[in-house]
Structure 1
Amino acid sequence: LSWKSCSPTKGLYKNTILVKFKKNFEFFIFLIQGIFGYMPLRGLSEQLNYKYRNLINFLKKIKINAKKIFFNNIEIIGGDDVIVEIDESTFGNRKYNRGHRVEGQWVLGIVEKTKKRRINIIPVEKIDSKTLTDIIRKYVHLLSIILTDKWKGYNELKKYYKDHKTVNHSKHFKDPETGVHTNPLKVIGHLSKKCCKISGKIPKIFGLFSL
């Protein structure tokens, strides 16, 4: 096998987000080490012998490609009569009342109540009805049974899903009559935020994983 037949665009980087970028392997290794080591970008650009502005633009392109691939490959969760709990939260320093200014990143947490306990944690710009409905319809099977709190952004879900049950979190986390609750998502959100505080970073992309 020759180096020619194993060129970055045809071999090593095939089926990765790097296939579009004509950089050698050593460049990407040092770049990844620098980013995960929280090296300042100006210092990283000097180490790579790559102009600072070009590095910024390069990283933006990688981010765009990564997000596109990531969100296009998230597996739909739920299914016929599968219960799916959904809740919104913020990753940041402070959360104001709904409808007011929020510092940080809004995220939508979606957990499937099966043995796999699959989870989606998806960043969202807003928590209005259209935004939430569009995202949930994209990533949650339409025959699922949806459990949420009473936030008005979820009101349209009953039009599209087999059933939509709610709990009023201002009174209780578990409805005493229906048994509906979203407590697992509250725990997951708490742990995720704790990790963010430790790292000092607010994540911009969240993945699909199993518990």
Structure 2
Amino acid sequence: MNKTLIVGIYEKTTNNLIVKVLKNANSKNLLQFAINHISSKCDVHTDSWKGYRDLKSVFTKHETVNHQDGYVSKTGVNTNQIESVWKHIRRTFKTHIKVAKHHIQLLWNCLWAI
């Protein structure tokens, strides 16, 4: 199966959302994406996927939630807002039989420009 990685950042206090298609799903690309869009002083919440481990080197306030244990960690960390975004993306793309990789970012930009 050929999958396309879509990464996103949701800023809770301003409701800003940044979404981008990444060509390679590796920790180096994820870290660079985060550095480009997040202040190093921010609290960063992710799930416990191993690709996010390098974020701790730049973001000292990086906390995780293990979704095998629940949707909210014992300390209150959650990723519910961005998970809601992914739910809407999946629902949108299910309406299309097939979307070419090079059109996904364009389609995404159009959907959120409305």
> Where on the TM-score scale, by shorter chain, does this alignment land: which range?
0.7 to 0.9
User: Could you tell me which amino acid in structure 2 is paired with residue 164 of structure 1?
Assistant: H
**Runs of 4+ displaced beyond 4 Å:** none
| Identity fraction in percent | 26
- Deviations 1:70-117 (Å, cap 9, x if unpaired)? xxxxxxxxxxxxxxxxxxxxxxxxxxxxxxxx5331111210011x31
Number of residue pairs matched by the alignment:
106
Equivalent position to 2:91, from 194, 199, 202:
194
Equivalent position to 1:142, from 37, 40, 44:
40
Partners of 2:97 and 2:41 in 1: how far apart? 39
Q: 1:104 and 2:3 equivalent?
A: yes
Q: Structure 2 length as normaliser, TM-score?
A: 0.81
Partners of 2:94 and 2:55 in 1: how far apart? 33
Q: Cα RMSD between the aligned structures?
A: 1.9
Q: Structure 1 length as normaliser, TM-score?
A: 0.46
Change (3 A) 1:201 1:163: same
- Superposed displacement of residue 174, structure 1: 0.8
Equivalent position to 1:128, from 26, 42, 46:
26
- Superposed displacement of residue 127, structure 1: 2.4
Partners of 1:108 and 1:169 in 2: how far apart? 18
User: Could you tell me which amino acid in structure 1 is paired with residue 85 of structure 2?
Assistant: I
Gaps of 5+ in 2: none
Gaps of 5+ in 1: 1-101
Partners of 2:62 and 2:33 in 1: how far apart? 16
- Deviations 1:26-73 (Å, cap 9, x if unpaired)? xxxxxxxxxxxxxxxxxxxxxxxxxxxxxxxxxxxxxxxxxxxxxxxx
- Deviations 1:1-48 (Å, cap 9, x if unpaired)? xxxxxxxxxxxxxxxxxxxxxxxxxxxxxxxxxxxxxxxxxxxxxxxx
User: Could you tell me which amino acid in structure 2 is paired with residue 161 of structure 1?
Assistant: F
Q: 1:204 and 2:104 equivalent?
A: yes
User: Could you tell me which amino acid in structure 2 is paired with residue 113 of structure 1?
Assistant: K
User: Could you tell me which amino acid in structure 1 is paired with residue 3 of structure 2?
Assistant: G
